Amino acid sequence: MKAQIQSLFIKERHGFPMLRTDEMELIRGFGIKGDINADIMSPRQVLIVINEDLEYFNIPPGGLRENIVLKNLDLSFFKPGSLLVLGDVKIRLTFNCEPCKRISQFVKPSEIMGRRGILGVVIESGIIHENMEATLLPSIFDPLSDLPFDRFKHFVSQIPEGKVVTYKEITRGMGVAESYLRAIPTYITKSDDNLPIHRIVDSEGALIQKYIPNQKHLLINEKVILREAPGLFDDSAWFVSLERHLWHQDSLFLN
């Protein structure tokens, strides 16, 4: 039997029921049209699960907050790094979706670890529909780590010279919730010297020299323009122009 799409769902808003649909439009580098998780910087634009896992845990379609349910799939190919082909649409499978409390009405998150589905990025646009044939091509891409700190390092390593990112861009590029914002300082202090953490600034563009003492010097060497402004306790604060230097990356996961 050929692998097929069994059902499709769109998440219009967080915390609301998934909307079942006969077809959906997927947009390269963005995600599913009308879905709350569509984001040009995110490695988690689409969530794909397999019907066998839903049946094993007695979970109704849509119960794992997934977008695409596949059936009759060769499970040995269903892993991060594979390429999912659905007609004209191509989806890069990035990393395993972590269980969360939103699915606890159906199953304990600890029981479904590693079987909540795989996240992906749309690398070719098109329209898909139920019962469409599905093909998985294994080991086409490097998989992303399931560990957030590893994805932090991967994202930060891509920031080019002369550009900066804020904490929010980092969480988007890691594919994690904004609650991870408070973890970024810890990740910065844990990082080794080879990672360009000096290209990280706060939401206003201010340098974070309490975590990166030589940040000002390193950015000036990269021709980043800084401005000085009064800070707390009569100290000066230094800012980067986000309009000029913020890194807008919309193709990090497309190749």
148-245 has which CATH code?
A: 1.10.10.10
State how far the Cα of 84 lies from the Cα of 9, in Å rounded to an integer. 17
State how far the Cα of 16 lies from the Cα of 4, in Å rounded to an integer. 27
State how far the Cα of 247 lies from the Cα of 13, in Å rounded to an integer. 27
State how far the Cα of 183 lies from the Cα of 67, in Å rounded to an integer. 28
CATH 2.40.33.20 residue window(s) in the chain: 4-137
Residues of the chain with pLDDT > 90, as a percent, come to 74
Whether 61 and 9 have beta carbons less than 8 Å apart is answered as yes
H/E/C letters for each residue in 97-166?
A: CCCCHHHCCCCCHHHHCCCCCEEEEEEECEEEECCCECEEECCCCCCCCCCHHHHHHHHHHCCCCCCEEE
Check residue 76 and give its pLDDT: 83
State how far the Cα of 205 lies from the Cα of 209, in Å rounded to an integer. 12
The alpha carbon of residue 168 and the mean position of all alpha carbons in its chain are separated, in whole angstroms, by 12
Check residue 119 and give its pLDDT: 98
State how far the Cα of 103 lies from the Cα of 154, in Å rounded to an integer. 28
Check residue 52 and give its pLDDT: 92
The residues with which 236 forms a beta bridge, in sequence order, are: 230
Structure confidence at residue 17 as a pLDDT band (50, 70, 90): confident
Report which secondary-structure segment, H or E, holds 170. Answer: helix 167-174
Q: Which of 179, 189, 69 has the alpha carbon at shortest distance from 131?
A: 69
Check residue 103 and give its pLDDT: 73
Tokens, residue 129: 């529909």
Structure confidence at residue 234 as a pLDDT band (50, 70, 90): very low
- 42-101 pLDDT tens trace: 999 999 999 999 998 998 999 889 999 999 988 888 999 999 999 999 999 999 998 877
Whether 152 and 61 have beta carbons less than 8 Å apart is answered as no
CATH 1.10.10.10 residue window(s) in the chain: 148-245
Check residue 231 and give its pLDDT: 59
- The CATH superfamily of 4-137 is PK beta-barrel domain-like (2.40.33.20)
Structure confidence at residue 157 as a pLDDT band (50, 70, 90): very high
State how far the Cα of 225 lies from the Cα of 153, in Å rounded to an integer. 25
> How are the residues of the chain apportioned to helix, strand and coil, as percentages rounded to the nearest 5?
25, 25, 45
